[in-house]
A and B are shown apart, each in its own frame.
Chain A
Amino acid sequence: MPAGLTILAAGPGSTVQDAGRVGYLRYGVTGAGPMDPFAHALANRAVGNPAEAAAIEISLGGIELTVDGGAATVALAGGSFAVSLDGQVLPSAVVAELQPGARLKVRPGAAGAWCYLAVAGGIALPPVLGSVSTHIRTGMGGLGGRALQAGDRLPISSALPAFHEAGAIVTPMLDRPPDRIRVIPGPQDDHFAPDQMEAFLAGPWTVSPRSDRMAYFLGGPTLKHRRGHDITSDGIAMGAIQVPGSGEPIVLMADRQSTGGYPKIATIIGADLGRFAQARPGTSLSFEAVTHADAVAARAQEQAFLGGCIPVEPLVRTHFPPEFLLGLNLVDGVVDARS
């Protein structure tokens, strides 16, 4: 049997995601894919996978898993989650070798709402419409179209050799406080008067606990439409910010429907989708309008980083359990004055 990851415990909402289902939006099929596309790609690249490979998207519910049938190299990247391997604390962005039977625990930490676990070689599941991304509402992709649960086993594809240095992934690119999110106005910004656009940008907005993979609801000022909130349905991009009749914006995320009928005041730029997705319920944020050229430049910077060598530094021990300290010969070199 090829090596596999076995889920020992999982909170609600952790799923298998590749880069998403492409080409079927025109048939009403949700793209799914990662909420934080940058962190998903980074975790994959850190173990030598293509950026689009299938990985585990870990929710605030956390996960605990082990490997059997051989060792596996994994990488974690995303929010600042609390990670431990057989009780040893690891950085939240890390490349680690899992020996058979080792227990890896990932729980919500200081910040962030999603964390990605990529395994060298990738997760081998049968694609549905060209993708293994899980879409729970239609039961499509992943493992039985559902969230991961204790007892699930994900076979590891052995297509790629696992050769990687273990260590911390160290990059300022993961330092992404979600307080200020860049947007491009539109496609229906003309449905809002200039003072409403100003109010939208300034906020401040609070992420609602209702938020999930489909949409993040924002609380704050009530926005007014120029001429009603009903438009003839059109396409919806990830990060589109629609304003329904209530005047409270809804940001449409990875599991959004392909089309919809509320005016969309602005769209989050690609390079800030992950930054925004990592905002937990209760986070306060505002928006900043940028140009199309700014957004393309930010996207190019991300792609250049992901296309290069991912910086991994050897682990520096930050946690010293008693057994570890007792094992060290701390008294070596001390001279007995009586002798």
Chain B
Amino acid sequence: MSGTEDNTPDDTVPRFLDAGEAALVVEFGSDVDPGISARVLALDAALSDRAPDGIRELVPTYRSLMIHYDPLRLSRDALAGQVMECLAAPAAKAASPAHWTVPCCYDPPCGEDAKEIASLLGIAADSLVERHAAATYRAYMYGFAPGYTYLGGLPPEIAVPRRPSPRGSHAPGAVLIGGGLCSISTFAMPTGWYVIGRTPERLYAPEREKPFLLEPGDTITFEPVDAAAFEALSRRAASGEVVARGPARCRPA
């Protein structure tokens, strides 16, 4: 379990691991780390760009890229060869991450666990919100549920571990912290994390042309809004509007 400080990610050759005969894991490291994530996303972008026949889908995670493929159309060796070529070539069309300003209501009942987190950390609730909203987060990956996004960049001074046991269901759009990370949930469900706030934005909106707002690698800041603004933005989001502010090309017409 080598860390990345004594092991420059760009110099390491990734490991190729079979997950059955129809999925190959290209693993760049074992940790949650921005450098490792950048290499995963660069390979993801390069392979998407080449789109070799036989690749079914690509799943970027914190530290590896899972390539689902049809081994009857693309052999493992040919696929590994494509990956090596992508790694050797300078990232010609590397992903250009977007930055999003995502509205977030921290007031109760939106930030229903904010007081509990503040008391766990021994800081004032205002200070917790201030620090959470001051940080820039990076979307590492999706997982768990459609549109459920894992974000790195939580300031260490407000990092809390996961709950010892899960709490009851939270609202859709809950902004959570736990396990040293931040996440945005899309569906109401129980969680082992803490609810620090709630966003009116919908990271998964099936009726939109682009149903998922964020791409892995995008950066995010949270903009505090009060309960009245939250309600107003929620109504607009429910009608399909994107209420987060993002790059111009992604703004609704």
Give me the interface of A with B, judged by CB distance under 8 Å.
Answer: 22-30, 128-129, 138, 140, 184, 186-188, 227, 231-240, 257-260, 264, 267-270, 292, 295-296, 299-300, 303
Contact = CB atoms under 8 A, between A and B. Distances in A.
Contacts of B145: 28, 138, 257
Contacts of A300: 72
Given A128-B206, A232-B31, A237 B19 contact: yes
B146 A239 contact: no
Nearest to B150: A233
Given A129-B206, A257-B144, A237 B31 contact: no
27 contacts: A23-B56, A26-B57, A26-B60, A27-B146, A28-B144, A28-B145, A28-B147, A28-B149, A129-B211, A138-B146, A186-B17, A227-B1, A232-B31, A232-B61, A232-B62, A234-B25, A235-B59, A237-B22, A258-B59, A259-B61, A267-B19, A267-B23, A270-B20, A270-B22, A296-B72, A299-B21, A299-B72
Contacts of B144: 28, 257, 259
Nearest to A29: B146
Interface in B99-135: none
B22 A22 contact: no
Contact of A233 (B1, B71, B143): B143
Interface residues of B, number: 45
B17 A259 contact: no
Given A129-B211, A138-B146, A258-B142, A234 B21 contact: no
Interface of B: 1, 17-23, 25, 27, 30-32, 56-66, 68, 71-72, 75-76, 141-150, 187, 204, 206, 211-212, 216
Contacts of B21: 184, 269-270, 292, 295-296, 299
Contacts of B206: 128-129
A26 B31 contact: no
B56 A259 contact: no
B83 to A, nearest CB: 15
A187 B59 contact: no
A260 B212 CA distance: 20
B20 A234 contact: no
Name which of B22, B142, B148, B204 has the most chain A CB atoms within 10 A of its CB: B22
A227 B2 CA distance: 13
A203 B167 CA distance: 36
B5 to A, nearest CB: 17
Which one of A27, A129, A237 has the highest number of Cβ atoms from chain B below 10 Å of its Cβ? A27
A240 B19 contact: yes
Given A184-B21, A187-B27, A240-B19, 20 more contacts: A23-B56, A25-B68, A26-B142, A26-B216, A27-B211, A27-B212, A28-B148, A187-B25, A232-B61, A232-B63, A233-B143, A234-B63, A235-B66, A237-B19, A237-B22, A258-B142, A259-B142, A268-B20, A270-B21, A296-B76
A300 B72 CA distance: 7
A23 B18 CA distance: 20
A235 B146 contact: no
A156 B68 CA distance: 31
Question: Which 8 pairs of residues, A with B, have the shortest CB-CB distance?
Answer: A235-B66, A295-B21, A28-B142, A187-B17, A259-B143, A267-B20, A237-B23, A237-B19
B57 A23 contact: yes
Nearest to A259: B143
Contacts of B1: 227
A258 B21 CA distance: 17
B172 to A, nearest CB: 12
Contacts of A299: 21-22, 71-72
Contacts of B212: 24, 27
Nearest to B63: A232
Nearest to A303: B72
A36 B221 CA distance: 44
Nearest to A272: B20
Contacts of B63: 232, 234
Given A140-B146, A235-B66, A237-B68, A292 B18 contact: yes
Nearest to B22: A270
Contacts of A184: 18, 20-21
A219 to B, nearest CB: 23
A259 B32 contact: no
Given A25-B59, A234-B27, A264-B19, A258 B143 contact: yes
A71 to B, nearest CB: 36
A296 B24 CA distance: 13
A299 B71 CA distance: 9
B24 to A, nearest CB: 9
B88 to A, nearest CB: 23
A239 B61 contact: no
Contacts of B61: 232-235, 259
Contacts of B62: 232-234
B129 to A, nearest CB: 27
